[in-house]
Amino acid sequence: MSDEGGPGTITVASRLSGYVRGGGVLIPLVTALLAFLVGGLVVLATGSNPIDTYRAIFEGSGLNWLFPWVSGDDRTIAALNLQQTLILTTPLILTGLAVAFAFRAGLFNIGGQGQYLVGTFAAVYVGSSLDGTPALVHVVLSIVGACLAGAAWAGIAGFLKATTGANEVVSTIMLNWTAVYVGLYLFGLGGPLHSDDPAAQSIPVSPDVLESARLPVFWGDPELQGLHIGIFIALAATALFWVLLNRSVTGYEVRAVGFNPDAAEYAGISAGRNYVKVMVICGLLAGLAGALDVLGWQFRIATNDIQVSQVGYYGIAVALLGRNTAFGTVIAALLFGALLNGTSVRNLDPTIFDPQLAGNLTWIIQGLIILFVSAPVLVTMLSRARFRRRPKPMPKPEVLSGGG
C-alpha cells in the first residue's frame, strides 16, 4: 500500500470496506443461525429434542452424502435424498435470482410466484403439444416459451410502474393471484388445457409433457425421480446473472438506477425503461424455474398444485438471505432446498419429530429469516452488545461520577 493522499482518509475508507465485506458473509450466517436457534426453541416447546431433530433434518436432506465416511446403505439413501434436495434447490435458485435482480434495481419483485406459475403453464403447453419434434428442439422450445411467458407477466408490472408509477409490490401481488386463477381455469375440469386422457376426465390436471420435451436425468434412476440436468441450467443462469449485473452495460445501468435514480437520469439513463427491462429479466428467470420443474420432474400440472405452490415466495427469503448476490443466492437456495426436503413427511423419522409439524418448521425458519433480514437493526444491536462486553480502554472509572 502506498501512502499518497491523506493517510488518515485511506485507513478509514479501507477499514470501512473491510467491514462491509466482512459483514457480507457474516450477517447472513448470523441471521440463519439465529433463525435455527429460535426454530430450535420451537421444537423444544413441542417436547422434542432440537439437536436430534436438526440432525434428522440434515440426514433427510441427504447432505450427509458429502461426508466421505458415510457408506453402504446409508450412502445409497443419502444419495436419493440429496437428489430430491437438489431438485427442490433448482427452481429456488432461479426464483431467488428473480427477486435479487429486482432488488439490485431498487424494485421489490413479490411476483416471482406468478411468473413461475405462468412459466409452468407455458412449459406444460408447449411440452405436451408439438408431437414428433426432435428432443433437443422440443426442450428448447418449451423452455423459451416458459421464459417468455414469465417475462411478459413480470413486464406488465414493470410497464405499469414506468408509465403510471404503479407500485410494483401491489401489482406483482395482484398478478400472482391472477396467475393462480388463470391456471385453475386452464387446467380445471372442462378448461381449455384440461387433459384429454380418458382416465383423467374427473381430475383437474394438464396433459402430460411428452418424452421428447423431458429433461434427461443424470444422477439416479429416472423411474425414482433422479436428478435432472436442470440444476446445471440454473447454475449457468446464475453465472449469466453475475456477468449481466457486474460486467455488462445493462447491469451498470440497473445498479445506477437502483442506487440513485436521480443521478442515473442525469447521466441519461431512463429509470422507466430500466424498470421494464429489469422486470422482464426477473420474469425470464422465474419462468425458467417453472420450465425446469415441469420438464424435469413434474411433467404435468394439477390445479391443487397451483394453489399450494410456494416456490416464488421462497425466492424472496432466498434472495434476502443471499444478499442479492449470485453466489449467496445459490447457497441460500441450497439451504432452503435442504430444509424443505429434510422436513418433508417422507424423510423425517416420526419418533424424533412429528412430520406433520416438520413442514411448518421450514415455514417458521423462513419467517424468522425474513424477520431477521428485514430487521438488521436487531442483528446490529446484538453484535454491538457483544462488543460492549469488551473491557473499556479507559481506566479511572471513579471520575465518572464527578462529571454528572
From candidates 263, 375, 381, 382, binder to another protein by CB under 8 A = 263
Q: How far is the CB of 318 from another protein (least distance, A)?
A: 23
Q: Give 40's contacts (C-beta < 8 A, 6+ positions apart).
A: 50, 51, 53, 54
List binders of another protein among 378-397 (CB under 8 A): 392-394, 396-397
C-alpha cell belonging to residue 97: 435470482
Q: Which of 235, 278, 227, 272 is nearest to 254 (CA)?
A: 278
- Structural contact between residues 61 and 340, judged by C-beta atoms closer than 8 angstroms: no
Gyration radius of the chain over CA positions: 24
> What are residue 302's DSSP bridge partners?
205
Q: Is 75 in the site for another protein (CB under 8 A)?
A: no
Q: Which stretch binds another protein (CB under 8 A): 119-127, 207-215, 260-268, 287-295?
A: 260-268
Residue closer to another protein (CB basis): 199 or 249? 249
Classify the phi-psi angles of 268: left when phi > 0, otherwise alpha if psi is within -120 to 50, otherwise beta.
Answer: left
Q: How far is the CB of 275 from another protein (least distance, A)?
A: 17
Q: Which stretch binds another protein (CB under 8 A): 74-82, 146-154, 258-266, 351-359?
A: 258-266
Residue closer to another protein (CB basis): 192 or 397? 397
Q: How far is the CB of 79 from another protein (least distance, A)?
A: 40
Residue closer to another protein (CB basis): 46 or 163? 163
Q: Which stretch binds another protein (CB under 8 A): 68-76, 185-193, 253-261, 300-308?
A: 253-261
From candidates 223, 266, 346, 351, binder to another protein by CB under 8 A = 266
C-alpha cell belonging to residue 318: 432466498
For 278-312, letters b (16+ CB in 10 Å) and e give bbbbbbbbbbbbbbbbbbbbbbbbbbebbeebebb
CA distance linking residue 2 with residue 286, whole number of Å: 47
DSSP code for 268 = T
Q: Is 8 in the site for another protein (CB under 8 A)?
A: yes
List binders of another protein among 17-56 (CB under 8 A): 17
Q: How far is the CB of 402 from another protein (least distance, A)?
A: 5
CA distance linking residue 290 with residue 187, whole number of Å: 16
Residue closer to another protein (CB basis): 76 or 248? 248
Q: Is 13 in the site for another protein (CB under 8 A)?
A: yes
Residue 111, Cα to own-chain centre: how many angstroms?
A: 12
Interface pattern 207-246 for another protein (x via CB under 8 A): ------------------------------------x---
Q: Which of 58, 153, 155, 151 is nearest to 114 (CA)?
A: 153
| Element holding 329 (H helix, E strand) | helix 326-342
Point out which residues bind another protein (CB under 8 A). 5-6, 8-10, 12-13, 16-17, 243, 247-252, 255-256, 259-260, 262-268, 392-394, 396-397, 399-400, 402-404
